[in-house]
Amino acid sequence: MSTQPSTTTSTPAGTPFAGGTILGYPRIGRRRELKRALEAHWAGRTSADELEAAARELRLATLRRLVALGLDPADGSVPGSFSSYDHVLDAAVTLGALPARFGALSSDVAALRDGGTGVPSSTYFALARGTQDAPPLEMTKWFDTNYHYLVPEIGPATTFRLTDDRVVREHAEARAEGVVTRPVVVGPVTFLLLSKAEAGAPAGFRPLDRLDDLLGAYAALLQALATAGAPWVQLDEPGLVSDTLVAAAGATRAEVAQAVTRAYTALAGSTASGEGRPKLLVAAPYGDLSRPDDEADVLGALARTDVEAVALDLVRGSVPAGPVPGLDRKTLVAGVVDGHGVWRADLTSKLDLLEGLAERTGAGAVVVGTSTSLLHVPHDVDDEEWDGPAAARAGRSPALRTWLAFADQKVREVSALARGLALGRDTVARELAEATEALASRAVAPGVVVPDVRARLAALDDSSFTRGAHAERVAEQRARLDLPPLPTTTIGSFPQTTEIRAARAAWTKGELDDDAYAAAMRAEVERVVALQEELGLDVLVHGEPERNDMVQYFAEQLDGFATTQLGWVQSYGSRCVRPPILWGDVSRPAPMTVEWASYAQSLTSKPVKGMLTGPVTILAWSFVRDDQPLGDTANQVALALRDEVSDLEDAGIAVVQVDEPALRELLPLRRADQGEYLRWSVGSFRLATAGARPATQVHTHLCYSEFGDVIGAIDGLDADVTSLEAARSRMEIVPELRAAGYARGIGPGVYDIHSPRVPSVDEVTELLGLAVRSIDPGLVWVNPDCGLKTRRYEEVTPALRNLVEAARSARESLVATAR
């Protein structure tokens, strides 16, 4: 570490983004303006023009904010990263990759060069949300984040062409406001790695095989942006750092390196930049592009092309071991400020890393950036209240405030580091000292280390993670529950109505007392239980009306967490979440769910599930402390949940569901790191559930990920029943389960709840048929893909009625076949 302040300039004159840059910024708005605009439009209350006007105002507000925070408005330092729904969907419609199954919606869109006017918003949202005749594009997790992207469908006949120029129009819009943005587009190699083969594609077809055909559309886009005056374009290539994505695409890293060479030789060309195209910044966030074990040398392949800049993630990734040939002709955007977490950066250590980085890597110049887009963090720490009774109840404190950096604070960190790198440490001495002081105060703050919690962890042994034999449990559970074949259930939540939200808001503000709020929630539980009985579901839920969010609800009741008022982060489309902040050792002061599960069970003779969120998901959907191993934190949460399971059993609850929808989400992108992750993640779930009695049926739920990589881990959870997302993918997981010899209860989802569509009885029956033809029908459960919180009763009630009817029909077929 440097001990003397530097006063020399480390950034050569003329370096782009010399004041620092970021790879992207939150797009939902500081008060979720985009969410409200989208949902008003979908509800028919506003026109497409009114939606676009709201989006435009949000984009312009972002530009103004980023310039005020210190980004240069004139050189492309400000990213143009807005999306009305999803950036992968944006790329698909820009490049003409509209699936043929959408019929006229796809065929009626003309290429811009053929006189087309772009993709209308009705078509754009049909791809995202579906129509009654066409299910939406499949949705899955974006690398190891809780953001969901829409999966493009590519076939041998997909015609790539510049079909929409929204990205060009938005750049022109910014220029008119005096800000020269750097448009951000998903890069061609990653776009194809993220895509799936269109239905009907021949066996062995890979979207990556269409790379050369796709590049013409990218070249046309770059030419259009050059004409509009864009000096730089950012092409995001996170697929280059992910072993799992590459393998899922049926490719090798050597093939990816070859694809990078072909793509960026073609797009960058051999001519000087600016002659027919903007300069190119290729970003590789979310992992390590310069890892020493990469025999394919994907970074080297990229460096040898004529792109002008490369952005590396130096939070998740590593500094190249030595000079990279070709990097001497490029600017290295050093992603040293974490775009994925909320903890304040150690600016001194970051500046230590930056100084001399050009010499160590051979880069022509080094500038400061974020490791990823800031899409994954809230807008601004200063939006929150950090003092007073309400803040204290939420676990927020003035001290915690000093430990954190949301998006705006991260932009300031980038700017401070850029000044220190260019002008010397003495120019940012105050910022360095404040960051160091905050880090020191965090380390010794009360609650960060709790001796009793540490002692309980230390006392664990192998028996703490082991339940009784599965076959013996099955026999006891069947005797206790007496369920029919193909039992029906839901995943947990029911619609959060306007009345529920209004009651919670009034209670939070102190306008509704505790007794009145509890009465309102009990009334909703009564409604949900009665509806399920009327529909004929077999295993019921209480509907979770009292829960604002499946993670935040528990964070509010566990020590070691803080929750925010305005810390919203986009999950997908208009769906936003407020990840809690896990800052200290975790423990459970009191039962969290027993009252609600017990009340629901008192209303029915059918079994009611106790509903918990698992330790891995609580970590994945929180901003987790970075000062101890994740496995240790997961086990602290697991012990709190273990106590809750025991209390639910004592209250007579026969089925307990511990949801782990994020199990696959946190899987490291590098194969070499996955074994250790699966060891502690599976272990924490088992720690939470291993104390359950043999007659208690333990369920878990996983959704919106590619599960093939973790089937062994799913089995290792030792849950009695696992429900999985499967409707949008049309049961793609089922053959993999059969091949793996999976022999536990399984509920592949037959109702896609992330779309407003109501599936017909025939549609559900078809999906259920695919399941029972591949899996022992005695193991199959019938359920939606996910919880119903975001849907309306007008959609949910008929959909569940169709689900129950399809299950009854399938049971009759099984009985007839048995005869």
Instruction: Report the phi/psi class of residue 478: left, alpha or beta, with left for phi > 0 and alpha for psi in -120 to 50.
Output: alpha
Q: H/E element holding 583?
A: strand 581-587
Give the dihedral sign, CA 340/341/347/350.
Answer: negative
Q: Residue 671 gets which letter from DSSP?
A: G
Question: By C-alpha distance, which of 610, 623, 755, 632 is closest to 693?
Answer: 610
- Residues 581, 622: contact at Cβ < 8 Å? yes
- Residues 380, 30: contact at Cβ < 8 Å? yes
- Beta strands 745-748 and 721-724 are parallel
Compute the half-sphere exposure of residue 694: CA atoms within 13 Å on the CB side of its CA: 11
Show which residues are catalytic.
754
How far apart, in Å, are the Cα atoms of 71 and each of 14, 15, 182, 225, 414? 16, 14, 12, 21, 9
Sequence-ordered list of residues with C-beta below 8 angstroms from that of 523, at least 6 positions apart, any chain: none
Residue 745 one-letter amino acid: G
Identify any residues that bridge with 283 across adjacent strands, giving them in sequence order.
236, 311
Q: Which two tokens stand for residue 629?
A: 């191993």
- Residues 352, 2: contact at Cβ < 8 Å? yes
DSSP string computed for 222-270: HHHHHHTT-SEEEEE-GGGG-HHHHHHTT--HHHHHHHHHHHHHHHH-S
Query: Looking up tokens 């511990």, which residue turns up?
Result: 658
How far apart, in Å, are the Cα atoms of 812 and each of 28, 59, 488? 48, 56, 15
- Beta strands 309-313 and 279-284 are parallel
How far apart, in Å, are the Cα atoms of 209 and each of 157, 249, 284? 12, 10, 21
Q: H/E element holding 300?
A: helix 298-303
Q: H/E element holding 613?
A: strand 609-613
Residue 86 one-letter amino acid: D
Query: Looking up tokens 């010899």, which residue turns up?
Result: 741
Q: Which two tokens stand for residue 741?
A: 């010899």
Q: H/E element holding 397?
A: none
CA distance 627 to 441: 13
CA distance 717 to 698: 10
CB-based burial label for 379 (10 Å; 0-12, 13-18, 19+): buried
Residue 543 one-letter amino acid: G
Q: Which two tokens stand for residue 121?
A: 């918003």
Please tell me whether residue 698 adopts helix, strand or coil conformation. Answer: strand
- What's the CA angle centered on 162, arms 159 and 167, to 5 degrees? 140
User: How long, in residues, is the chain?
Assistant: 819
Question: By C-alpha distance, which of 147, 324, 351, 156 is closest to 236?
Answer: 147
CA distance 227 to 168: 9
